[in-house]
């Protein structure tokens, strides 16, 4: 969906409520730039000479220089991407920008948005991973943390990235707490360092 800005409505998606706003970025470009930004801030800042601090923040100015050169966009367009992101992937504060989750580089995002963690969380994966997950639990693999969602639907959507027939798992966060394993909330996503096999169970399969 296109993203825009209006003096009275603020950032908007698709169409401005009062009709006076203007579109800043087309939907397709928005997705492309968001994907690039995820890569830059989670996986390969070095490739573009970007330095992340230990909390994962880059200087907004440096990131804007790169975006300007690659995509011809400026700060208001970047802010529209960040503000309108449904999964709240990014965060801008004090002239800095970071990805909230999903990193493979060594940073410690280090905050929990709130203490209210649901009793059940969900994760969906490819059937091929199941045997290994039942043995070792969910591991971060190439990222820093395991990712979980609040609803089965969101988990299935994530699982569909790996397989057309993902397996849905339910995670018992009380049991995780009993094991002393923290669950953190980052944007819409929940994360943990590890989910032991006895804290999860398979609850369904999505058939094609």
Residues that bind ligand HQG (CB under 6 A): 38, 87, 89, 102, 125-126, 129, 132-133, 136, 138-139, 141-143, 147, 158, 162, 189
- Shortest Å, Cβ 158 to ligand HQG: 4
- Shortest Å, Cβ 204 to ligand HQG: 15
Compare residues 9 and 130 and give the one whose CB is closer to ligand HQG. 130
Cα(196)–Cα(179) distance, integer angstroms: 9
Compare residues 116 and 131 and give the one whose CB is closer to ligand HQG. 131
Compare residues 16 and 89 and give the one whose CB is closer to ligand HQG. 89
- Shortest Å, Cβ 179 to ligand HQG: 16
- Shortest Å, Cβ 127 to ligand HQG: 10
């Amino acid at each position: 969906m296109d993203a825009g800005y209006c003096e009275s409505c603020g950032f908007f998606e698709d169409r401005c409520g009062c009709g006076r706003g203007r579109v800043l970025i087309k939907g397709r470009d928005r997705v492309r730039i968001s994907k690039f930004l995820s890569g830059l801030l989670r996986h390969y800042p070095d490739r573009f000479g970007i330095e992340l601090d230990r909390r994962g923040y880059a200087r907004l100015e440096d990131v804007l220089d790169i975006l300007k050169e690659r995509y011809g966009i400026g700060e208001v367009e970047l802010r529209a991407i960040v503000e309108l992101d449904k999964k709240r992937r990014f965060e801008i504060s004090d002239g800095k920008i970071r990805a909230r989750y999903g990193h493979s580089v060594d940073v410690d995002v280090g905050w929990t948005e709130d203490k209210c963690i649901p009793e059940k969380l969900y994760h969906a994966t490819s059937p091929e991973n199941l045997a290994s997950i039942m043995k070792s639990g969910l591991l971060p693999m190439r990222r820093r943390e395991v990712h979980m969602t609040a609803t089965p639907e969101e988990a299935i959507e994530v699982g569909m990235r790996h397989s057309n027939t993902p397996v849905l798992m339910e995670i018992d966060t009380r049991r995780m707490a009993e094991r002393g394993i923290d669950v953190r909330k980052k944007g819409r996503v929940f994360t943990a360092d590890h989910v032991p096999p006895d804290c999860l169970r398979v609850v369904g399969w999505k058939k094609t």
